[in-house]
Amino acid sequence: MTLAARVGPLLPEHVVGRLAQLLYPRFEPELAHLDDYLPRGCRTAVDIGGWYGPWSRRLASRAHQVVTIEPVPHLARTLERITPHNVRVVQAATSDKPGTARLWFPAGDAGTRGLSSLVRRDIHTHGVDVRCVPVDELGLHDVDFVKIDVDGSELATLQGAEKTLERDRPALLIELEARIQPTAPIVDLLTAHGYRGWVLPTATWLPLDDFDLDTHQRATAHVAGLGLLRRILPFAGPRYVTPPLFRRRGPRPSPARIPAAPRRPQR
């Protein structure tokens, strides 16, 4: 167990949330590059897999409203307390159909480590039943951005959001890890919806078509096993790249090329 996993449960939840907000842009640089792909005047942003809210809190300062979906009960309650007023928290897991499912945790963990999943892996030992809901059934409108981090349920989440994707065409940031699930079905689904992928291995976005994500992740898999604190150190070694950004086909992500989100006509 990493140092952060041991110390985290000992700290007040609002402190953990604040530390996550401060440290996560270094752990996941895509969060520090919101200006590259988040539309100006973003109307609705969706954070699927909220954890302690590093994405939700940053998005809340730039979007009219944020909908955060988090299945772990105590994390959902924490998010309701520590996130800004324009964040709506939904305690559920996303899937392609409504119902209930088993959410699995590693030994000695109840969601704090951010490794819970509806897809049981060898690291999981126990779980809890949670509500499942498709994104399309949340009554969302004007969705300009969706971040998805659900440790293996990404394809089911996207299948439950296809109406939203077709209607609003949001930018998507999706955790894809070949060590957890095949990435090709997800990329193929998004390509069929007219999306193009981009990755940020350094300071410049590269087309996903020109970057072998699976091979890169196999070569840097040892980095994925390090804790958050060790992975943000300057001498931590190569970066384990994930998540890709998906947008409707267009130019390279850049702040100068992100138009304002279109407004709905007034009636």
Confirm whether 216 is domain-assigned: yes
Strands 195-199 and 124-133: unpaired
Question: Which runs of consecutive H residues, i.e. helices, occur in 61-141?
Answer: 73-82
Confirm whether 100 is domain-assigned: no
Q: Identify which of 144, 146, 249 has the alpha carbon closest to the alpha carbon of residue 192.
A: 249
Q: pLDDT (tens digit, 9 = 90+) per residue, 206-247?
A: 999 999 999 999 999 888 777 665 565 655 567 889 899 999
Site of tokens 């999306």 = 195
Rounded to the nearest integer, the mean pLDDT of the chain is 88
Q: Which domain range does residue 218 map to? A: 3-92+138-251
pLDDT confidence of residue 150? 95
Q: What is the CATH number of the domain that holds 78?
A: 3.40.50.150
Confirm whether 152 is domain-assigned: yes
The three-point CA angle 150-122-201 to 5° equals: 50
Q: pLDDT (tens digit, 9 = 90+) per residue, 52-111?
A: 999 999 999 999 999 999 999 999 999 999 999 999 999 999 999 999 999 999 998 888
Confirm whether 126 is domain-assigned: no
Q: Tell me how far apart the alpha carbons of residues 116 and 69 are, in angstroms, rounded to a whole number.
A: 14
Confirm whether 266 is domain-assigned: no
Based on the structure, what is the number of domains in the chain?
A: 1
Lowest mean pLDDT among 16-20, 100-104, 139-143: 16-20
Confirm whether 110 is domain-assigned: no
Confirm whether 16 is domain-assigned: yes
The residue among 225 and 115 whose pLDDT is bigger is 115
Q: pLDDT (tens digit, 9 = 90+) per residue, 24-61?
A: 777 789 999 999 999 889 999 999 999 999 999 999 99
pTM: 0.89
Site of tokens 């957890």 = 180
Please state the rounded mean pLDDT for residues 123-143: 96
Confirm whether 236 is domain-assigned: yes
Confidence check: pLDDT of 2 > 50? no
How many residues belong to the chain? 267
pLDDT confidence of residue 240? 87
